[in-house]
Amino acid sequence: MDTINTLFLLSGFLIALSVLASRLSTLVGVPLLLLFLGLGMLAGEEGVLGIQFDDYPLAFLIGHLALAMILLDGGLRTRLKTFRVGFKPALSLATLGVFVTSALVGVIAMWVFGLSLVQGLLVGAIVGSTDAAAVFSMLGGRGINLNERVGATLEIESGTNDPMAIFLTLMLVEVLVGDIGGWLDTTLFFLQQFGVGIALGLGAGWLIARLISWVDLAPGLYSLLALALGFCVFGATSALGGSGFLAIYLTGLMIGNRPGRHLNFILPVHDGLAWLSQIGLFLVLGLLVNPSEMMVYALPAAVVALALIFVARPLAVVIAIKPFFRFRWREVGFIAWVGLRGAVPIVLAIFPVIGGVENASLYFNAAFAVVLLSLLIQGGSLPWMAKRLKVELPPSVTPKRRGPLGIQHDNDFEMFIYRVESSDLEEVPIRLLRFPSGAIIAALFRDGVMVHPKGSTQLQRNDVLCVIGRGDDLPALNRLFNGDATLRRQSAFFGAFSFNGDARLGDIADAYGLTLSPGEHDMTLADFISLRVGGHPVVGDDIDWHGIHWVVNEMQGNRVTRVGLRLY
């Protein structure tokens, strides 16, 4: 069999096997990215297929392309409103947090591996940043519904912390090979990485978003145009000395937050491309590793990994966010635990190999071992930790499917598909349902047969309703179709009783016999909670006041509109 046919056969087989392995990940709880790495190792030189692959420059190129695609998709799915509560702490983690983590791990690596200080710090810099692919995959793929403050901080951190890790890695590699410049050059390089990356990412992203929303294309071409222009921004930023990774993440952010029907065509395609990038990247990185060589460094690398997970990352998170931002200790604990390492440390570990650093295999194998343990220990326990630390919100009903109708260019009407799962909706005539203004039922399916809906039509369990409305109608529609199990979980979480956010504390205190401090009588419940959480409340915030838990239930913008009362 010639080379080209062999390439098609093996690549197709490995990708298909990786996709099917995702089902195994769901059944047994093994982190999906860990399976991709494992399949790559099994296919490698010492594995079942015996594929010989040691082309580090090619792996480096594949790593950059895949990470750029993953970050673009991550930016597309990040809402600007999350920056209200997550940007400042995420920026602190992406800079100060990475620096502290790298320093602590570097000192430990120096002692464990018997290295010089600079060599140990290089190990720390390589594994110092969290990985966007790992964070986006684990949080999204495991169905963990975090409160907005924690979720936004983790997502923005993972999308913006690569420049700091790249800066530290390149600087230390240059020190080891004797090419380092003066402090002025080093400082300018650092400012270039962040400054050029932010400027081009936001500026070019703003222009690209308006171009894509304005131009009239075939549906399949929108995603291709977004990808092509995103890669252009990545390349131009890198050529100018900036961080291409930061720039392409911000470009995706600007595109994804520009309203228009183009997003309905871009997001599904980029979801598949991001998955393909993750599969291909982790397979290639797995092929690079020889298990026998990695075992030489396994024990000291395991010590470094455990120190990173249980010492360096938690200390870095506490130092970077606790003194400056109002996070509860359980939120700090979960953010510390989701310091997932993935493809980025392994790609950064190729820098010493390409740069000709002495004993470069140590850095690569140590980084690989750290990533394996991080995905296994941290990734495998995320759902349990989210529940244990009480940062997870109860699930809510969402449409089974949704899609644009293509009627209007901006703020288009969509078709939302809901299944009736609540017993409270059984035997209820359609005319009694409180639909948001402008939303209507277009069709109703019962036992696979379409029924023409009338006002007198009574709903039955498992009816499927096709509702036409706009994206702004989703919160009201989701509340309407909430199921019994979901309602019980929400009642247990938010409490059986609730108050309007504009309720006066004085009235509540009189009703429940509570004692207020001077100046609190005329304060609203919304203002009181906002003050207690530092000015940026989110759904799920839990305030213990006079032995009663006051839980933020609904919000409108930055304003608390509904507060639940829970007595336990």
Contacts of 338 (CB under 8 A, 6+ apart): 130, 135, 138, 139, 154, 378, 382
Neighbours of 476 (CB within 10 A): 14
pLDDT tens per residue across span 453-474: 888 888 888 888 888 888 778 8
Q: Which residue has the higher pLDDT, 415 or 404?
A: 415
User: pLDDT band at residue 133, thresholds of 50, 70 and 90?
Assistant: low
Confidence band of 485 (pLDDT split at 50, 70, 90):
very low
Question: Which of 213, 215, 209 lies closest to 233 in space, CA to CA?
Answer: 209
Dist. CA 387–CA 541, nearest whole Å? 15
pLDDT per residue over 509-527, tens digit each?
777 677 777 777 778 888 8
End-to-end CA distance of the chain: 68
Residue 429 β-bridge partners:
458
pLDDT(141) > 60: no
DSSP labels, 425-466: GTT-BGGGS-PPTT-EEEEEEETTEEE---TTPBP-TT-EEE
pLDDT of 502 higher than 60? yes
Q: What is the pLDDT of residue 50?
A: 73
Decide if pLDDT at 204 tops 80: yes
Q: Say what angle helices 244-256 and 162-177 make with each other, to 10 degrees.
A: 170
pLDDT value at residue 316: 93
356-395: pLDDT as tens digits? 788 888 888 888 888 888 888 887 787 788 888 888 777 6
Helix pair angle (244-256, 56-76), 10° resolution: 30
Pairing of strands 414-419, 548-556: unpaired
Structure tokens belonging to residue 404: 């644009």
Most confident of 37-46, 88-97, 416-425, 436-445: 88-97
For residues 276 and 69, give the distance between their C-alpha atoms in angstroms, rounded to a whole number.
9
pLDDT of residue 180: 62
pLDDT level of residue 109 (50, 70, 90 thresholds) = very high
User: 110-114, 371-375, 433-437 — which one is most confidently predicted on average?
Assistant: 110-114
Apex CA 522: angle with CA 516 and CA 528, to 5°? 70
Partnered with residue 559 across adjacent β-strands are 556
Q: Cα separations (Å) of 185 from 180, 199, 240, 247?
A: 9, 20, 15, 22
Q: How confident is the model at residue 103 (pLDDT cuts 50, 70, 90)?
A: very high
Average pLDDT over residues 305-332: 89
At residue 547, does pLDDT exceed 60? yes
The predicted pLDDT at position 194 comes to 83
DSSP annotation of 395 reads P
Percent of the chain whose pLDDT exceeds 90: 11
Q: How confident is the model at residue 484 (pLDDT cuts 50, 70, 90)?
A: very low
**Mean pLDDT, the chain, as a whole number?**
80
Q: Is the pLDDT of residue 165 over 70?
A: yes
Are the C-beta atoms of residues 284 and 271 closer than 8 Å to each other?
no
Fold assignment, 485-566: 3.30.465
Q: Where are the domains of the chain?
A: 3-289+301-388, 401-481, 485-566
Residue 218 has pLDDT above 50, yes or no: yes
pTM of the entire predicted model: 0.77
Which are the contacts of 568, defined by CB distance < 8 A and separation ≥ 6?
Answer: 549
- Inform me whether the pLDDT recorded for 483 exceeds 60: no
Mean per-residue pLDDT, 36-44: 78
- How many CA atoms within 13 Å lie on the side-chain side of 418? 28
Architecture of domain 401-481: 2-Layer Sandwich (3.30)
pLDDT reading at 251 higher than 90: yes
pLDDT at residue 490 is higher than 60: no
Quick check: 142 pLDDT over 70?
no
Determine the distance from the C-alpha atom of residue 415 to the mean position of all C-alpha atoms in its chain, rounded to a whole number.
27
Nearest to 167 by CA among 252, 246, 236, 232: 246
The candidate with the shortest Cα–Cα distance to 505, out of 522, 481, 485, 488, is 522
Query: pLDDT grade, residue 492 (50/70/90)?
Result: low
DSSP 228-265: HHHHHHHHHHHHTTS-HHHHHHHHHHHHHTS-STHHHH
CATH 3.30.1330.60 fits 3-289+301-388, yes or no: no
144's enclosing H/E stretch is none
What are residue 419's DSSP bridge partners? 464
Q: What is the pLDDT of residue 14?
A: 76
Q: Could you tell me which residues come within 8 angstroms of residue 266 by beta carbon, excluding any fewer than 6 positions away?
A: 76, 212, 222, 223, 226, 255
